Amino acid sequence: MTTGTYQVFWTQTAQQDLKRIIEYIAADSEIQANRIYLAIKQKAANLQQFPFQGRIVPELRYYHILTYRELISPPWRIIYKTEENKVWVLAVIDGRRNMEDILLDRFI
């Protein structure tokens, strides 16, 4: 596992994903929405020190696409890739959804 200091960037798509998730949850419970927001942001922030901690996304591995990794903050999947000393958070997706269709639509 490579360690060091990487910069973590959120793409606009990932920011929108997170915003939609939090808004949806906040409609029922702002406390729960805040807790989930902080958990997801902390998981992503940990990538500064351990950018290769996530597994290669299994649905994409099947197609021999090994560029993308993911962290799990149940039920959310945080999809990212590393380039040089940067980590790009690309998506935050509900893992209960049909992941293969979503990922293939976004990353192929």
24 pLDDT higher than 90: yes
> Would you state the pLDDT for residue 15?
98
Strands (E), 1-108: 7-10, 55-56, 69-73, 76-83, 86-94
42 pLDDT higher than 80: yes
Domain 7-107 indexed as CATH 1.10.287.610:
no
> Would you state the pLDDT for residue 1?
46
Stated pTM of the model: 0.88
> Would you state the pLDDT for residue 108?
64
Where in the chain are the domains?
7-107
Which tokens belong to 22? 């939090």
> Would you state the pLDDT for residue 86?
97
